[in-house]
Amino acid sequence: MAPISDTANVLARHDLPGILAAINAEVRERFGEGRVADYIPMLGSVPVDRFGMALVALDGQVHCVGDAREPFSVQSVSKVHSLTLALEVAGAELWDRVGREPSGVPFNSLVQLEFEGGVPRNPLINSGALVVADVILSHYQRPREALLEFMRARSGNASVGVDREVFASEKQTGYRNTALVNFIRSFGNIHNDIDAVLDFYYAQCSLEMDCLDLARSVLFLADEGHCPVSGVGVTRPDRAKRINAVMLTCGTYDAAGDFAFHVGLPAKSGVGGGIVAVVPKVMSLCVWSPGLDTKGNSLLGGYALHRFTEMTGLSIF
């Protein structure tokens, strides 16, 4: 594969609308594979026969296919955005409270915390995101508004908001998250009120966005921390590099190795069926299909990204 050097040259080589149309057709043949995340009751009723894909390039190209404009629950994709916000206020000290190693266990597992003194393996699994939420609560006066403003500015969509029904559904049934936050607190690694931490976390997971919104929202990670959508510097280049690194190694839970093998891009998935991916210095992408594989990643979304990198040769490797 050619090294990613010059955005315009790289993009000129590909018929991107044609590639997206071909992937869309392939994926639709496979509708029905995967299982929706019914452990969150409100997500259990999302139809499985949906597929959308959006691509936003640094040269200004935007391409969408399928259900790319249908809003869905972003779930853990928002862990990238909350990590970015937390790094801005806590800097490198964040890494004293959360690690940056792949966990190799399911995203909502409790087991490692006991052996590792309440320090979650990474910020992109539930335990890590709860610590990140705690950091945000300690540093922002209006944390939920800060996150919402961040999402709206990064996506360029001022109407991004929380789906109240999903929020309530998660809050009612989030037994594991309640266990995780209490357990971490017992080690002194949660400083704020438990319910406040959980409420912030459920609000970020319950955000409703579509593929285009989400692809735009991570474009700053393709542009060394600069957000072309809002025209501002979001984070320092070295932090953007680190966020991409953590996405590559930890963004798809205990399937991150397999994902790097098949796709080869920094990515973050959520149990709503969305996956964002970054081609550094070139573009950001988002795919969505609600049927999940056994690890909790969108089955057809992962397949679509695999086909995209296969057809274009765009990968960090």
Instruction: Output the smallest distance, CB 137 to ligand DON, in A.
Output: 17
Separation between Cα atoms, residue 296 and residue 252, nearest integer Å: 8
Q: Is 103 in the site for ligand DON (CB under 6 A)?
A: no
Q: Which is nearer to ligand DON, 37 or 68 (CB)?
A: 37
Write the binding mask 214 to 253 for ligand DON: x where contact by CB under 6 A, - elsewhere.
----------------------------------------
Q: Is 125 in the site for ligand DON (CB under 6 A)?
A: yes
Instruction: Output the smallest distance, CB 317 to ligand DON, in A.
Output: 24
Q: Which is nearer to ligand DON, 178 or 230 (CB)?
A: 178
Residue from 108, 249, 252, 315 touching ligand DON (CB under 6 A): that is 108
The whole-angstrom distance between residue 72's C-alpha and the CA centroid of its chain comes to: 13
Q: Which is nearer to ligand DON, 126 or 284 (CB)?
A: 126
On whether the CB atoms of residues 51 and 66 are closer than 8 A, the answer is: yes
Size of the site for ligand DON (CB under 6 A): 12
Amino acid (one-letter) located at 287? V
Q: Could you please report the per-residue DSSP string of the chain?
A: ------HHHHHHT--HHHHHHHHHHHHHTTTT-SB--TTSGGGGGS-S---EEEEEETTS-EEEEETTTS-EE-GGGHHHHHHHHHHHHHGGGHHHHS--S---S-TT--HHHHHTTT--S-TTSHHHHHHHHHHHHHH-SSHHHHHHHHHHHHHT-TT-EE-HHHHHHHHHH-HHHHHHHHHHHHTT---S-HHHHHHHHHHHHTEEE-HHHHHHHTGGGTTTTEETTTTEE-S-HHHHHHHHHHHHHHTTGGGHHHHHHHT-S-EEE-TTSEEEEEETTTEEEEEE-S-B-TTSSBHHHHHHHHHHHHHH--S--
Per annotation, catalytic residue among 77, 80, 103, 201: 201
Q: Is 298 in the site for ligand DON (CB under 6 A)?
A: no
Instruction: Output the smallest distance, CB 311 to ligand DON, in A.
Output: 27
Q: Which is nearer to ligand DON, 266 or 270 (CB)?
A: 270
Q: Is 271 in the site for ligand DON (CB under 6 A)?
A: yes
Instruction: Output the smallest distance, CB 61 to ligand DON, in A.
Output: 29
Residue from 54, 87, 98, 205 touching ligand DON (CB under 6 A): that is 205
- Residue 79 catalytic? yes
Q: Is 24 in the site for ligand DON (CB under 6 A)?
A: no
Per annotation, catalytic residue among 76, 103, 109, 315: 76
- Residue 76 catalytic? yes
Contacting residues toward ligand DON, per CB under 6 A: 75-76, 107-108, 125-126, 170, 177, 205, 270-271, 296
Question: Catalytic residue positions?
Answer: 76, 79, 201, 253, 271
